Amino acid sequence: MSQIKVGETIPSMKLMTATAEGPKEVSTDDLFKGKAVLFAVPGAFTPTCSMKHLPGFVQHVAEMRAKGVERIICMSVNDAFVMGAWAKDQGVNSEIVMLADGSGAFTKAMGLELDLVGRGMGVRCQRFAMVVQDGRIVSLAVEPPGGFDVSRAEAVLASL
């Protein structure tokens, strides 16, 4: 599958979110109603993801909300239990939806997978950020391998 593009619609499927009550199923159709920011990381608890990527979005929640963002979603190819533990470790509250793409099906449907099999991590998602309005991608920023610039919270905030 080729990479999803600006103007295209988010694939319709069911995924799991980490909540205070445990894993909960959610539909992408519901999750991406209104204006949402989705940022994805290759793995929960990994260095750049834990020290820079997620903390940047936690820091800028209020500013994004002020620009009309209804939902900020952090996604990784991890299960909902891992995403829940990572949220707790990082002090993430309900302001950010912790979305688990456990099997990588959503990532694959968007053509944003990253093969880290050679590094013992399996197939994950690329590091990216997108703005979605009513299920349609408004902007998409995908990092080059090892990069951390265009998907940072500050870059997304500047694009809103």
Specify the pTM: 0.92
Which residues of the chain fall short of a pLDDT of 70? 1, 114-117, 120-123
What token pair was written down for 153? 């919270």
**Which CATH number goes with the domain that contains 55?**
3.40.30.10
Give the E-state strand segments of the chain in sequence order: 14-19, 22-27, 35-40, 71-76, 96-100, 113-116, 122-125, 128-133, 136-142
pLDDT of residue 5: 96
Cβ atoms of 67 and 157 within 8 Å: the answer is yes
49 assigned to active site: yes
Q: Confirm whether 109 is domain-assigned.
A: yes
* Pair 125, 76: CB distance under 8 Å: yes
In a domain, 66, yes or no: yes
Structural domain harbouring 62: 14-159
Domain annotation covers residue 2: no
**Total structural domains in the chain?**
1
Question: Distance between CA 150 and CA 130 in Å, rounded?
Answer: 10
In a domain, 9, yes or no: no
**150 belongs to a structural domain:** yes
Q: Is 42 exposed, middle or buried (0-12, 13-18, 19+ CB in 10 A)?
A: buried
Choose, from 26, 31, 49, 54, the residue flagged as catalytic.
Answer: 49
Amino acid identity at 16:
M
pLDDT for the residue 51: 78
The predicted pLDDT at position 118 comes to 73
Q: Distance (Å, rounded) from C-alpha 110 to C-alpha 4?
A: 5
* Three-class secondary structure of residue 51 per DSSP: helix
pLDDT of residue 122: 57
Residue partners of 53: CB distance under 8 A and separation at least 6: 39, 41, 127, 148, 151, 152, 153
Considering Cα of 95, then 49, then 160, then 79, what sign does the dihedral take? negative
- Does residue 4 lie within any of the structural domains? no
Give pLDDT, residue 116.
62
Would 8 be classed as within a structural domain? no
* pLDDT for residue 133: 98
Q: What is the largest CA-CA distance in the chain?
A: 42
